[in-house]
Amino acid sequence: MFKQKEITEPLYCVLWMAPFLSGGGYSSEAWSYILALNSYIKKQKNPIFKLSIEQHGDLENVEFWDGLPLEIRNLAIELYQTECRLNQTIVICHSEPGAWYPPLFQTLPCPPNGYGQFQVVIGRTMFETDRVNVEHVRRCNKMDLVWVPTDFHVNTFRQSGVDPMKIRKIVQPIDLEFFDPLKVEPLDLASIGKLVLGSDDVLNSNHRFVFLSVFKWEYRKGWDVLLRSYLKEFSKVDDVALYLLTNAYHSDRDFGNKIVEYVENSDLEKPVNGWAPIYVIDSHIAQVDLPRLYRAANAFVLPSRGEGWGRPIVEAMAMSLPVIVTNWSGPTEYLRDGNSYPLGFEGMSEVKEGPFKGHMWAEPSVDELQFLMKHVWRNRDEAKTKGMEARLDMMRRFSPEIVAEDIIKHLQQNVEVF
């Protein structure tokens, strides 16, 4: 139920509804906003906003909750108990529009009591394809405002029929204190990675150049492109390893067999020296250990066909890793030649199944990815320089302080309008 009680100060309450306890992209994004705003508001002498949160948009994941740092769990309890007066509340519906009022599946409705009863109702969402479907456009246009993370989304939402006057670009913050390569030791990948292809019986197995990819196991993430490029370029004698941190997405968890099956059914020819090793990490990595995971890698690679934002990408960049990422959709907001290795694509391809069937997304270049992985492997000093520049860019544009200040100013302007 929506919580109410009489309050006098601060004047407005921001009720942020998101899958805080679920894990995944929307969850981590929502937490990044809450942590940034909570820190910013506490530093103000007379804040006009306070924060409250509600779980919304997805099922709770106990394993994810247990992996959160204790201070975040304590903050979650505190903000969940914060109550708001109905007509002084700004509601943020942070989820895919199918979860908005009335929801198309079982979840707490957002806004809680429908439209027209709150100070402002804002939808925060994004898509990974070239358009927004008709039902989602209709739901966006019910909102007072629609927040999207990039210029790419501003354009695709407008072109799809969302009212341009409602759309605002609000970028994501990245916690640069948490994701700091100087504060953590590398995670022991050998203890968590399962070898699924190739072998690790080489003398320098502990000193390999590690390519890391983090993604849900779905076609959109371009795992097929990654495997093909990596296996075409490298063999067992090269000092490389590919680690995949992945989890199931409407599929079983037998990722090793999926990889072997893909290779066996492809036209890839096994090198005389044997396949370069591929490891899968399919166990849960607690949020507190994510910086250590990135710290254990030499480069991050994700040839995705489409991203809303690309949370693991900016986490890797904050950790000073060189990244090789498809230069389309969400990542165009932060990729550039000086801070990364933007991956070209061979045109657009049609989404064949799922809720976005018939939409279009990018088809990343296998040959260019093969070239870039080899280039990064051979030019390690250059790659390190780009990684350091990536972290500086995260500090310049996406620090919690900068993003929180922009959001507070934006909210102040719009409570006056509405």
* Cis bond before residue 10 (omega within 30° of 0): yes
Backbone angles phi, psi at 131, to 5 degrees: -160, 175
What whole-number distance in Å separates Cα of residue 338 and Cα of residue 345?
A: 19
What whole-number distance in Å separates Cα of residue 308 and Cα of residue 328?
A: 10
| Identical fold, 12-173+399-417 and 189-396 | yes
Q: What pLDDT is attached to residue 210?
A: 97
pLDDT higher at 388 or 11: 388
Which helix (H) or strand (E) is 313 found in, with range?
Answer: helix 311-318
Residue 130's pLDDT band (boundaries 50, 70, 90)? very high
pLDDT higher at 124 or 64: 124
User: Contact, 163 vs 187, CB < 8 A?
Assistant: no
Q: What is the CATH number of domain 189-396?
A: 3.40.50.2000
Structure confidence by residue, pLDDT tens digits, 151-176: 999 999 999 999 999 999 999 999 99
Structure confidence by residue, pLDDT tens digits, 10-53: 899 999 999 999 988 899 999 999 999 999 999 998 899 999 99
What are 343's strand-pairing partners? Answer: 326
The answer for residues whose C-beta is within 8 angstroms of residue 34's C-beta and 6 or more apart is 16, 20, 51, 53, 75, 79
Q: In the structure encoding, which two tokens stand for residue 354, read together?
A: 């799922």
Backbone angles phi, psi at 329, to 5 degrees: 65, -140
Q: What pLDDT is attached to residue 9?
A: 78
Q: In the structure encoding, which two tokens stand for residue 32, read together?
A: 């990044």
Residue 113's pLDDT band (boundaries 50, 70, 90)? confident
Structure confidence by residue, pLDDT tens digits, 214-233: 999 999 999 999 999 999 99
> Quick one: which of 308, 317, 311 has its CA closest to 395?
317
Residue 391's pLDDT band (boundaries 50, 70, 90)? very high
pLDDT of 334 strictly over 70: yes
CB burial of residue 353 (10 Å; 0-12, 13-18, 19+): exposed
Helix axes 25-43, 311-318, angle to 10 degrees: 50
Give the percent of the chain with pLDDT over 90: 85
SS3 for the chain, per residue? CCCCCCCCCCCEEEEEEECCCCCCHHHHHHHHHHHHHHHHHHHCCCCCEEEEEEECCCCCCHHHHHHCCHHHHHHHHHHHCCCCCHHHEEEEEECCHHHECCCCCCCCCECCCCCCCCCEEEEECCCCCCCCCHHHHHHHCCCCEEEECCHHHHHHHHHHCCCHHHEEECCCCCCCCCCCCCCCCCCCHHHCCEEEECCCCCCCHHHCEEEEEEEEECHHHCHHHHHHHHHHHCECCCCEEEEEEEEECCCCCCHHHHHHHHHHCCCCCCCCCCECCEEEECCCCCHHHHHHHHHCCCEEEECCCCCCCCHHHHHHHHCCCCEEEECCCHHHHCCCCCCCEEECEEEEEECCCCCCCCCEEEEECHHHHHHHHHHHHHCHHHHHHHHHHHHHHHHHHHCHHHHHHHHHHHHHHHHHHC
pLDDT of 114 strictly over 90: no
Residue 7's pLDDT band (boundaries 50, 70, 90)? very low
CATH topology of domain 12-173+399-417: Rossmann fold (3.40.50)
What whole-number distance in Å separates Cα of residue 111 and Cα of residue 27?
A: 18
pLDDT of 275 strictly over 60: yes
Helices (H), 336-399: 366-378, 380-398
Number of residues in the chain: 418
What is the CA 353 to chain-centroid distance, rounded? 22
The answer for residues whose C-beta is within 8 angstroms of residue 177's C-beta and 6 or more apart is 183
pTM (two decimals): 0.93
Domain coordinates of the chain in residue numbers? Answer: 12-173+399-417, 189-396
pLDDT of 147 strictly over 50: yes
Helix axes 380-398, 311-318, angle to 10 degrees: 110
pLDDT of 179 strictly over 80: yes
Helices (H), 121-220: 134-140, 151-160
